[in-house]
Amino acid sequence: MFKKQSLGEGRLQYLFFWLQVLGLSVLAGIITFILLGIFDPYNVDDGVQIIVYGLLCVFYAMIIIACFMHTKDRLKDIGLLGWISIVLLIPVLNLILVLLLLGVPGEVRKRSARRA
């Protein structure tokens, strides 16, 4: 139904994974800087603060979901099970997992013959 957003034949290569992780991190930092820089928290109504913090929560939830999806695809690319992406929730192990995913090349798969 949805086409994979990756380089190669349905594989999430480690360079592309690294660029996506870097891009999501930079995007999160820029949007947080913009949303928190718009207002002075000491001179703004509580309603505006609730809206801004609510937008930040929704934005970060979308980034976390995207990270889980990319990590799952990358894990499958190196031959591991996708559910191991749950390790991203454990503070020190998540750094080890990301470094592993950034450094390990994916499996080489044979191309199947396509039917016309």
Domain boundaries, given as residue ranges, for the chain? 14-103
Q: Quick one: pLDDT band at residue 13, thresholds 50, 70, 90?
A: low
- The pTM (predicted TM-score) of the whole model is 0.65
Which pLDDT tens digit goes with each residue over 28-80? 888 888 777 766 666 667 777 788 788 888 888 888 888 888 888 888 888 88
Percent of the chain residues past pLDDT 90, beyond the cut: 1
Residue 78, C-beta contacts closer than 8 angstroms, at least 6 positions apart: 101, 104, 105, 106, 107
Q: Mean pLDDT, to the nearest integer, of 87-99?
A: 87
